[in-house]
């Protein structure tokens, strides 16, 4: 079930060390078992904070959207990115990072304004950054310029 490094997929989409999942599972069983999913997701976030599973692995270009749930401009940007994700799913990855659970990523990438979009090439290197609302037509033009998509 795990990969060759002993990692397991998690409900949040990250890979978490199998030993950590086992410990969390055993402790949640002792506590009544009902908290397993919530605790497993928390364990994944801890693993991610330790550098496992994020940023996305190299292979496809990616956009990381840094946002705050209560921000109206962030919500508008999320709709735009979800549309882009649906159209270019096979060529591009899009990930969302929110300040409360993902503060370590905000610090790692030096994010001070939301929304901010960070563009990573297929090797995982940052190649572009945009702050604020990025209208869909302009975003699509930038994705072509960066050669993330072709039409």
Domain boundaries defined on the chain: 7-49, 62-145
- For the entire predicted model, the pTM comes to 0.65
Rounded (10°) angle between helices 36-49 and 18-30:
150
pLDDT band with cut points at 50, 70 and 90 for residue 19: low
Q: Give CATH superfamily name and number for 62-145.
A: Glutaredoxin (3.40.30.10)
For residues 52 and 149, which has the higher predicted lDDT (pLDDT)?
A: 149
For the cut 50, the answer to whether the pLDDT of residue 70 exceeds it is: yes
pLDDT at 5 > cutoff 50: no
- If you average pLDDT over every residue of the chain, what do you get? 79
118 three-class SS: strand
Residue range 113-124: mean pLDDT, rounded? 96
Q: What is the per-residue pLDDT for 11? A: 43
- Whole-number percent of the chain with pLDDT over 70: 61
d(CA 36, CA 10): 11
Give the residue with greater pLDDT, 12 vs 72: 72
- Inter-axis angle of helices 72-87 and 136-145, to 10 degrees? 50
């Amino acid at each position: 079930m795990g990969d060759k490094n002993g990692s397991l997929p998690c409900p949040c989409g990250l890979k978490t060390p199998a030993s950590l999942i086992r410990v969390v599972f055993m402790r949640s069983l002792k506590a009544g078992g009902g908290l397993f999913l919530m605790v497993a997701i928390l364990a994944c976030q801890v693993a991610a904070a330790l550098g496992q599973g994020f940023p996305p692995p190299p292979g496809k270009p990616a956009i990381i959207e840094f946002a705050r749930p209560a921000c109206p401009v962030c919500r508008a940007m999320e709709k735009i990115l979800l549309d882009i994700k649906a159209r270019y799913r096979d060529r591009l990855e899009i990930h969302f990072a929110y300040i409360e659970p993902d503060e370590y990523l905000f610090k790692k990438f030096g994010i001070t304004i939301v929304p901010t979009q960070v563009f990573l090439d297929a090797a995982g290197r940052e190649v572009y950054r945009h702050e604020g609302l990025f209208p869909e037509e302009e975003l699509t033009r930038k994705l072509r310029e960066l050669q993330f998509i072709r039409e």
